[in-house]
Structure 1
């Protein structure tokens, strides 16, 4: 199993202490206040709720969506589905990016390669499947929607797929291509976990043409999304007031984090929810912050960098500032 952010118990076991600030995930620390699910949600088998699909299509601006148990479920299933439908494929995954994509495409007989974002144009012609995380996790790199749609058309012309992971796309809605999932060959993944701060729901959505969604639904099997998750998500997806206030708060806090890092000599980029920078002394920085009970995400391999999310309190902001000040003094 690959290593991910959010493994705070491992940090506590290694470094000790209980009063930790977890910046490792990029999840909104001020998440949606989930309403209590109805008794029916607990007692009935969770049949698909069309109210959830309608609320999601309205929020994401998509013509059709399939609810899944987090985008991770789709990331694991799509390589298998492609192999069943069309056999082994030439798969290009933009890199560096969320490691689960390459991990699972490499497990089903596909010919996998990872290509830097600035070389993706040249990779399209030699690919049957192209996977792009937009905005990228961890670097925050983005690809213009027009460019993505051009790639999708080129791939679809020969039966290919463009998979666009928009798990962090809520804070950049104009970059989304979810509204175009009626187009052949385009598959879009959306997550309720990041912007809404509801990672524990394990709920996401896949947008694509109806036949592909039906095949994916069949592969994933019945009752994929729990009843409580469906009810909570309907409330969150419909709450326009909360969404607008959260966009403003995240924009403000994201700018504050970027300025804080810049004040301490760190040139970071990313999204309002997280910031990333290449760090030659990434391991040392990671350990320094951990000794201050601040858990950041270390990328030790090709990305070779640090990613930080947002804290959830003013006292946490002050602790981060103090740790950064001490890092500069080393």
Structure 2
């Protein structure tokens, strides 16, 4: 503020003065005022705002209109229905692949027990049940055992069901297989078995057979004996508990084995004795002393 005359306050120094802005000339003020009055007389504030809106709408009319969703009043349109059994979808797909013969062996989970195989939640419980029944019927038809009372002082060996899937050269499943195996580790030497050795062919003998076939232009044939160990008869008294899933009306009975089963200590030995007797006596071959798995026959031709 300007210092009044005759004041004792010192006059401000030039360095403390605030520079004043340049005031517009009087003719500029008249021109600005007249232009403002003209614009206000032509349009009211509401009209000016509406005209600006019309201009913006006109400029936006060139672009395609996009429908905006009503988020405030939006409601879900989901169709209500009962939940699907999602947990059965993979199992159903595997069963369908099995029926279409496109199931791979790597897709099948091998059960570890008969209770797990026959569980209703197992997608292949029907296939495993059919496999166990086929194996049991085969053992019954082969007269592998007879049900008796366990003599005092004797031990009944436990058994177990072993499951496996067989596949072709493409890896596709072609058979579900079950096998009843004896837990031979519980056998007692001198009581349940004596000898266990069975011969194996020497590799040199196998090479010799292939070399002779190639030099003489002979044909080689191979065969597989189905249930080989089950064909051999036992001479020892061996008792086994009844297999799970196929227990007779009297659970106290046990199976006295009349023929060999997989898992027995002497299974390989008794099978070798059986096949040796068939080849030498029935077919007329002679076993070599250098290799017990090679047989020859001298032809008159």
**Under a length normalisation based on structure 1, what TM-score does the superposition of the two structures give?**
0.19
Radius of gyration: which is bigger?
2
Structure with the larger strand share: 1
Structure with the larger helix share: 1
**Under a length normalisation based on structure 2, what TM-score does the superposition of the two structures give?**
0.21
